[in-house]
């Protein structure tokens, strides 16, 4: 008979931290660990909620390792990284000839992990058809391979994770509400790094020490100004971003005492509030036509085009002022406007002889109106491809981080990389 292992004492939570390398003492983190320890001994479905980079996969490992299934298989599946056309085959398997390229039958994850635990990361990226299949597995333990009519049974514990509001997606008909309630039998919220400021310094020192050992160098230290800057930064990439910053500082810093100026050069630049407020945003009205959830991609491109158009209009306004000033000073050329128009010198001549040099004809130029807008010729495809290449380069080919930077899913990024034939 299984007994629910209740973790109540601080000593139990500390033992979990030591075993799984969890660093921090924030109350929200301790509560999440407490819930994970309590639910581990059961077979209940768990939904782990938290922003990208907070360490949701670590909690899935904790739950599996403390459960009665710990000696059985555990597999982590990133739902956003699998193309929509193949995800059913990956999860549930397929029969030979069920689709083009299916040269043999294949077992899916729910069959191969029978008796163990499957971790479905980015569960919000699952297509609606796959969500219906998953709901059947959760409710009855049954599934059908793609291209088959034979019902098979499986005994798999499902742990899901998301960085999105699933109920909001359900309101927009992009996620099944019944699946949400079936998954979130026990929800665990992993706090963002900005919500556990007391842990930022501890984490940075741990990462800096690890990198110093790896690169066989002296560990970097932060002065008081750098420490304060570290606390004030919002950390949109959470623990993953903090680890990247610690690695950059450890590798690039010549002086091992890091000042605020040095740290500021490493931290990503963020748009000022005044600039961000001017950027256009799209309405998040419910989509009843089944359109693709690609509004975030358009947001990025709209912002880029807005900034480009603003810059071009500024340049054109400057040209207008220069040209307008030149024409105003045309009758009084020499009254200070000489530097606005190019000077033209003619060879000395007599009569109509210009010394073999054709005379320069000054054609009239239509003055630009101050309110005239620039008509750019911009390729949407080229700009989108350029943004993706820059994001991949910035994050050193890490697709998940690049997708987070662009505001799109990792699956969408994967599709765009193949579509544009981007060499990583």
Q: Where are the beta strands (DSSP E) in 165-323?
A: 186-189, 221-222, 257-258
pLDDT above 60: residue 344: no
Q: What's the token pair of residue 253?
A: 């810093």
The predicted structure's pLDDT at residue 38: 94
Question: DSSP states of 311-373 as a string?
Answer: HHHHHHHHHHHHHHHHHHTSTTTTSS-GGGS--------BTTB-TT-PPPP----PPPPTTPP
Of residues 7 and 56, which shows the higher confidence score? 56
Q: What is the mean pLDDT of residues 336-364?
A: 45
The predicted structure's pLDDT at residue 301: 64
Q: Are 126 and 87 in contact (CB under 8 A)?
A: yes
**Percentage of the chain with pLDDT > 90?**
53
Cα angle value 92/94/95 (rounded, 5°): 145
> What pLDDT digit, counting tens, does each position of 220-275 carry?
999 999 999 999 999 999 999 999 999 999 998 889 999 999 999 999 875 443 33
Convert 171-186 to b/e letters by CB count within 10 Å (16 or more is b). eeebbbeebbebbbeb
Please state, in angstroms and rounded to a whole number, the distance separating the CA atoms of residues 105 and 94.
Answer: 6
pTM of the predicted structure, to 2 decimals: 0.62
CATH superfamily of 293-322+365-424: Homeodomain-like (1.10.10.60)
Q: What's the token pair of residue 416?
A: 């765009």
* Cβ neighbours of 220 (radius 10 Å): 25
Average pLDDT score over the chain: 80
Q: Are 53 and 231 in contact (CB under 8 A)?
A: no
Q: What's the token pair of residue 269?
A: 């630049």
> What pLDDT digit, counting tens, does each position of 364-410 carry?
444 444 444 444 445 667 778 888 888 888 888 888 888 888 888 88
Q: What is the mean pLDDT of residues 31-51?
A: 95
pLDDT above 70: residue 357: no
Backbone angles phi, psi at 189, to 5 degrees: -100, 120
| Confidence grade of residue 280 (pLDDT, cut at 50, 70, 90) | very low
* N-terminal to C-terminal alpha carbon distance within the chain: 52
Residue 106 DSSP one-character state: B
pLDDT above 90: residue 324: no
Q: Are 30 and 39 in contact (CB under 8 A)?
A: no
Q: What's the token pair of residue 346?
A: 């003619």
Residue spans of the domains in the chain: they are 10-191, 197-270, 293-322+365-424
Dihedral, CA atoms, 286, 289, 295, 297, nearest 10 degrees? 160
Please state, in angstroms and rounded to a whole number, the distance separating the CA atoms of residues 422 and 424.
Answer: 6
Q: What is the mean pLDDT of residues 266-288?
A: 49
pLDDT above 70: residue 418: yes
Q: What is the mean pLDDT of residues 76-103?
A: 88
Q: What's the token pair of residue 296?
A: 């975030």
User: Considering the domain 197-270, what is its CATH architecture?
Assistant: Orthogonal Bundle (1.10)
| Confidence grade of residue 355 (pLDDT, cut at 50, 70, 90) | very low
Q: 222 pairs with which residues across the strands? A: 258
| Confidence grade of residue 284 (pLDDT, cut at 50, 70, 90) | very low
pLDDT above 60: residue 44: yes
- By CB atoms closer than 10 A (0-12, 13-18, 19+), residue 51 is buried
* Class of domain 10-191 as given by CATH: alpha beta
Q: 278 pairs with which residues across the strands? A: none
pLDDT above 70: residue 331: no
pLDDT above 50: residue 300: yes
């Amino acid at each position: 008979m299984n007994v629910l292992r209740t973790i109540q004492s601080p000593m139990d939570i500390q033992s979990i931290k030591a075993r799984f390398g969890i660093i921090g003492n924030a109350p929200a983190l301790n509560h999440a660990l407490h819930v994970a320890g309590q639910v581990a001994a059961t077979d209940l479905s768990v939904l782990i909620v938290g922003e990208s980079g907070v360490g949701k996969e670590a909690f899935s490992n904790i739950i599996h390792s403390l459960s009665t299934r710990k000696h059985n298989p555990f597999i982590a599946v990133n739902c956003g990284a699998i193309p929509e056309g193949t995800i059913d085959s990956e999860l549930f398997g397929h029969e030979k000839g069920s689709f083009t390229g299916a040269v043999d039958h294949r077992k899916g994850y729910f069959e191969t992990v029978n008796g163990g635990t499957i971790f479905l990361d980015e569960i919000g990226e699952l297509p609606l058809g796959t969500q219906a299949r998953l709901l059947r597995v959760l409710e009855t333990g049954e599934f059908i391979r793609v291209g088959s009519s034979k019902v098979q049974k499986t005994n798999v514990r499902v742990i899901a994770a998301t960085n999105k509001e699933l109920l909001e997606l359900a309101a927009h008909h992009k996620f099944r509400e019944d699946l949400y309630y079936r998954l979130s039998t026990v929800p665990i919220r992993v706090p963002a790094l900005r919500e556990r400021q007391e842990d930022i310094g501890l984490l940075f020192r741990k990462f800096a020490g690890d990198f110093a050992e790896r690169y066989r160098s002296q560990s970097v230290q932060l002065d008081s100004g750098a420490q304060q800057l570290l606390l004030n930064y919002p950390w949109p990439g959470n623990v993953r971003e903090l680890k990247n910053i610690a690695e950059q500082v450890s590798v690039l810093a010549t002086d091992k005492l890091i000042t605020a100026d040095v740290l500021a050069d490493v931290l990503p630049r963020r748009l000022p509030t005044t600039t961000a407020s001017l950027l256009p945003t799209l309405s998040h009205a419910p989509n009843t036509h089944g359109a693709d959830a690609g509004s975030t991609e358009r947001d990025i491109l709209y912002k880029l085009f807005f900034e480009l158009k603003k810059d071009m209009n500024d340049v054109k306004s400057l040209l207008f002022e220069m040209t307008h000033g030149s024409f105003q000073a045309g009758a009084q050329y020499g009254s200070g406007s000489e530097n606005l128009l190019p000077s033209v010198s003619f060879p000395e001549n007599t009569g109509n002889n210009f010394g073999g040099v054709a005379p320069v004809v000054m054609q009239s130029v239509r003055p630009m109106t101050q309110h005239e807008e620039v008509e750019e010729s911009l390729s949407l495809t080229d700009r989108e491809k350029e943004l993706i290449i820059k994001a991949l380069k910035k994050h050193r080919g890490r697709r998940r981080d690049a997708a987070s930077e662009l505001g799109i899913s990792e699956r969408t990024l994967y599709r765009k990389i193949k579509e544009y034939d981007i060499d990583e």
